[in-house]
Amino acid sequence: MDMEMETDMHLAAGYCAATGVYRSRYPPQFAAVTASSFPDYIFPRLLFPDRVARPAFIDASTGAALSFGELRELSIGTARALSALGLRRGHVALLLSPNSLHFPTLSLAVLSLGAVLSSANPLLTPDELAQQARDSEPFLVLTTGDLAPKLCSLPDVVKRVLIEQLLTDVVKDDGPEQATDLPASNIGRDDPALLFYSSGTTGRSKGVVSTHGNVLAMAASLERKWGTARAGDGGRGRDKQQDDDVYGCVLPLFHMFGFSSFVLGTAALGATTVVVPGRFSVQKMMAAVEQYGVTRLLAVPPMVVQMARAATGESSSLRLRQVVSSGAPLTREHIARFHRCFPGISLAQCYGLTESAGCVTMCDLYHDSVDGEGMAPSTEVEEDGVAAVTTAVEEERFSSGGSSVSIGRLLPDAEAKIVDPVSGEPLPPHRTGELWVRSPSVMLGYLKNEDATALALTAATAAEGGRAWLRTGDLCYVDSRGHVYVVDRMKELIKYKAYQVAPAELEDVLAAHPSVHDAAVVPYPDEEAGEIPVACVVKKPGSHHLQEDELLSFVQSKVAPYKKIRRVVFVDSIPRSPSGKILRLQLRSFLQGSVPEAEGRNSCK
């Protein structure tokens, strides 16, 4: 490739060879935001004349709706009630709740007081909740009557507030005329706003501290991305059909993907969100999509797989125009199957982390959606030479089985580097290395964990604009059109139905069993779940009686359902490096021939 062609390719990719940085094709968005906190940003938007009476959230199970104006009134009224209970700026409020119409209300109420919102998976065991509470030290817990018994292991000093009673009292005692002003809190952009838990790049779950500035940046970025025209104007205009868009929410709101999409994104955009509460069911989801005219559905790969499996072959009655998937990569096979079942619905991917307060890449809606062959078509006119090089490189990757499904382009204000894991040097397009991202939405750090923060974030320097780079632990490359592709993960997390499962946590549980001498947990491919946790176990001498079912039950009793071991393979030893590190790649290769024999004994469903 000659120098002129290489320069053209770099420009098309948004790559600067001098700095090694890839930049978003969208103009900067965050610099224009003047609000000092997320409540300052969101509450005025809820009163815009064209949306104050529009439904903000609809409960698909009951048909109950909350308009944008009512969302504001109820959120401020709830903030006053929480203030009366003693919640103050800097306090942590733990929200333990399934998806509901009022999850956004409670979230906005906490944030408007300058308190820090933390969330927890309702599937966690009482001991797991207690462990998270010991780390986050909540002032109070907001939970439902059904989930309240799970708080039995929390210290008595932590207040329990039942959501049902709280909201009943707010509606009864705090009318709209009293809920016109926010309680004074003097919140700034550097104040902590969210404390969501993530396994990060390695190891145990850690508290991710996101500031109001981080949250503001993500809300503004999604508002810009989802609110731009679909007519190919490069993000310069508003979507003329935006008022027509209805978003479907089946993602858990306690997870950053769901929270950032619906509490931050659609709320800022002014789009209606249909919440489908309760245990996921593809039939229930599709019924809500049809009944409420959902046009854009956010999902994780197992949901996309189930949509295709349950397809009846007739989708003309649906208003659904797009499905956006994240949490784990979609395979080419699943993409092709989806397009065969839903030829009129585009399928796109996005990528983000808890540490980045949500998405950092997303396919250009309605233009860069992946097609039936798993490729992300370009929407831009390229020079013939650059296009030819791009096609040749990507066809070679595709035919060799490499990653070929784009996770989209960088969102507004996001920057990236592809860093050689060995040399540490930034890499140009079509070279694979670790993805580093930099954005005003990237976290402040991990709560009370300076070592983990230092591993995840580079030192911020004036030369780098004062912002740190987040090391994602994912091996990626960027093509000459700016599309990002995930090749593999450097980190050891298992992605079960888009949940993050840390092998180290399960290995500690297995080690506590009196008949286990050594254990290692590794992922194993599964069509529906993506990956399942499989344990390789060495029995202690004299423990020949130990059976697989006993270990499965032992682990299941101590962890949330999505974390449980799905299969056990007994081995003579666990391969380790001289330093004692488990050689997981060797185990994964070994399991390719060992696990199928156990398939009939243990279902992963």
- In this structure, the number of other CB atoms found within 10 A of the CB of residue 49 comes to 6
**What are 240-245's contacts with CB under 8 Å, separation 24+?**
242/269, 242/270, 242/271, 243/50, 244/295, 245/271, 245/272, 245/295, 245/296
Over residues 255-271, mean pLDDT: 95
Which residue is listed with tokens 């990569």? 329
Q: How far is CA 29 from CA 39, 131, 271, in A?
A: 18, 38, 19
Using one digit for the tens of pLDDT, what is the confidence trace for 147-192? 999 999 999 999 999 999 999 999 887 654 555 666 667 899 999 9
Q: Please state which of the ranges 30-34, 205-209, 561-565, 593-597 shows the lowest mean pLDDT.
A: 593-597
Over residues 293-300, mean pLDDT: 94
Dist CA 194 CA 120 (whole Å): 12
Can you say whether the dihedral through the CA atoms of 283, 286, 290, 292 is positive or negative?
positive
Average predicted confidence (pLDDT) for the chain: 84
Q: E strands of 503-566, at which residues?
A: 516-526, 530-539
CATH 3.30.300.30 positions along the chain are: 494-598
Dist CA 403 CA 13 (whole Å): 18
Residues 6+ apart with CB under 8 A from 430: 393, 477, 478, 479, 480
Residues 6+ apart with CB under 8 A from 520: 503, 507, 535, 536, 574, 582, 584, 587
Q: How far is CA 197 from CA 129, 207, 265, in A?
A: 11, 5, 20
**pLDDT band at residue 259 using 50, 70 and 90 as cut-offs:** very high
Dist CA 500 CA 493 (whole Å): 6
Q: Count CA atoms within 13 Å of residue 336 on its CB side.
A: 7
Checking DSSP bridges between strand 192-198 and strand 159-162, what pairing results, if any?
Answer: unpaired
DSSP per residue over 390-457, as a string? HHHHHHHHHHTT----EEEEEPTT-EEEEE-TTT--B--TT--EEEEEE-TTS-SEETT-HHHHHHHB
531 - beta bridge partners?
525
The yes-or-no verdict on residue 278 having pLDDT over 50 is yes
Residues 6+ apart with CB under 8 A from 463: none
Over residues 82-96, mean pLDDT: 96
CATH number assigned to the domain with residue range 494-598, chosen from the 4 options 3.40.50.2300, 3.30.300.30, 3.40.1440.10, 3.30.70.60: 3.30.300.30
CATH 3.40.50.12780 positions along the chain are: 33-278
Written as six digits, the tokens of 48 are: 């815009």
Over residues 273-285, mean pLDDT: 94
| Torsion of the alpha carbons at 364, 367, 373 and 376, rounded to the nearest 10 | -40
- In this structure, the number of other CB atoms found within 10 A of the CB of residue 21 comes to 18
pLDDT of residue 491: 74
Which residue is listed with tokens 């919102």? 117
Amino acid at 62: T
- Using alpha carbons, select from 421, 411, 370, 417 the residue that is nearest to residue 394: 370
pLDDT of residue 382: 36
pLDDT of residue 360: 96
Between 126 and 604, the more confident residue is 126
Using one digit for the tens of pLDDT, what is the confidence trace for 316-338? 778 999 999 988 778 777 888 89
Give φ, ψ of 422 to 5 degrees: -90, -55
Q: How large a percentage of the chain has pLDDT more than 70?
A: 82
Dist CA 343 CA 308 (whole Å): 11
- The domain made up of 33-278 has a fold known as Rossmann fold (3.40.50)
Which residue is listed with tokens 């700034």? 188
The yes-or-no verdict on residue 387 having pLDDT over 80 is no
Contact predicate 433/418, CB 8 Å: yes
Over residues 360-377, mean pLDDT: 59
Dist CA 188 CA 108 (whole Å): 16
The yes-or-no verdict on residue 552 having pLDDT over 60 is yes
Q: How large a percentage of the chain has pLDDT more than 90?
A: 62
pLDDT of residue 100: 95
